[in-house]
Structure 1
Amino acid sequence: DAGLKKWMDNQEVCGVLRISKKTLQVYREKGLLPFTRIKNKFFYKPEDVQSMLESSYHPQKRKP
């Protein structure tokens, strides 16, 4: 199915957004990036990743 090929995995998203897997996890937890989960693997739609790039989202780094 060609539709299945459109989904991106963690590694691809981290590469495109130039973020770490930890940052990607934060995006998921905060609901910033929609995702689907199959077993222990996460998948993302390219258009959602594109939206994230296009929105001028700049997370504030907080000191723990």
Structure 2
Amino acid sequence: MGRKVLEQYRSSDGGFYQVPWKTNPILIGYNKKLFEEAGIERPPRTYSEFLKAGEKVTK
């Protein structure tokens, strides 16, 4: 767990008394070959870019 993520769970007295076992990270996978065939040169960096790329792939 990264320090920045961990710091959000520090208590007001500066200690850590519990840390959640997951923080619901979001991971999106894609098919490199399909993206290349659709003319998409680099992976999307935002969710809105990902949605636009998905539209290109499905047309």
TM (norm. structure 2) is 0.28
Higher strand share: 1
Rg: which structure is higher? 2
Greater relative contact order (CA < 8 Å, ≥ 6 in sequence): 1
Higher helix share: 1
